[in-house]
A and B are shown apart, each in its own frame.
Chain A
Amino acid sequence: EAQVTQNPRYLITVTGKKLTVTCSQNMNHEYMSWYRQDPGLGLRQIYYSMNVEVTDKGDVPEGYKVSRKEKRNFPLILESPSPNQTSLYFCASSGGQGAFLETQYFGPGTRLLVL
Chain B
Amino acid sequence: GNSVTQMEGPVTLSEEAFLTINCTYTATGYPSLFWYVQYPGEGLQLLLKATKADDKGSNKGFEATYRKETTSFHLEKGSVQVSDSAVYFCALKSARPGNTGKLIFGQGTTLQVKP
Q: Does B103 contact A (CB under 8 A)?
A: yes
Q: Tell whether, in the assembled complex, residue A104 and residue B32 are in contact, meaning their CB atoms are under 8 Å apart.
A: no
0/1 interface trace, chain B 6-50, chain A, CB 8 Å (1 if under): 000000000000000000000000001010100000111110010
B101 to chain A, nearest CB (A): 3
Q: Tell whether, in the assembled complex, residue B101 and residue A94 are in contact, meaning their CB atoms are under 8 Å apart.
A: yes
Q: Tell whether, in the assembled complex, residue A42 and residue B107 are in contact, meaning their CB atoms are under 8 Å apart.
A: yes
A41-B107, A101-B32 known; A59 and B102 CB under 8 Å?
Answer: yes
Q: Tell whether, in the assembled complex, residue A45 and residue B103 are in contact, meaning their CB atoms are under 8 Å apart.
A: yes
Which of A43, A48, A105, A108 interacts with B46 by CB under 8 Å? Answer: A105
- Classify the interface of chain A: helix, strand, loop or mixed: strand
A90-B44, A101-B93, A108-B42 known; A48 and B102 CB under 8 Å?
Answer: yes
- Expressed in whole angstroms, the Cα–Cα distance for A50 and B103 within the complex equals 14
Q: Tell whether, in the assembled complex, residue B46 and residue A50 are in contact, meaning their CB atoms are under 8 Å apart.
A: no
Q: Does B70 contact A (CB under 8 A)?
A: no
Specify the chain B residue showing the minimal Cβ separation from A44: B105
- Expressed in whole angstroms, the Cα–Cα distance for A31 and B46 within the complex equals 17
Q: Does B99 contact A (CB under 8 A)?
A: yes
Q: Quick one: which of B32, B36, B44, B45 has the most chain A CB within 10 A?
A: B44
A101-B95, A103-B34 known; A42 and B106 CB under 8 Å?
Answer: yes
Q: Quick one: which of A40, A43, A58 has the most chain B CB within 10 A?
A: A43
Q: Does A56 contact B (CB under 8 A)?
A: yes
Listed by A's residue number, 6 A-B pairs whose Cβ atoms lie within 8 Å are A48-B102, A59-B102, A90-B44, A92-B44, A104-B46, A104-B101
Further contacts, 10 of them, CB under 8 A, given A42-B4, A103-B34, A106-B45: A4-B43, A42-B106, A43-B89, A45-B102, A50-B101, A58-B102, A90-B44, A100-B100, A101-B99, A109-B43
Closest 5 A/B residue pairs (Cβ): A100-B101, A42-B105, A106-B44, A108-B43, A43-B105
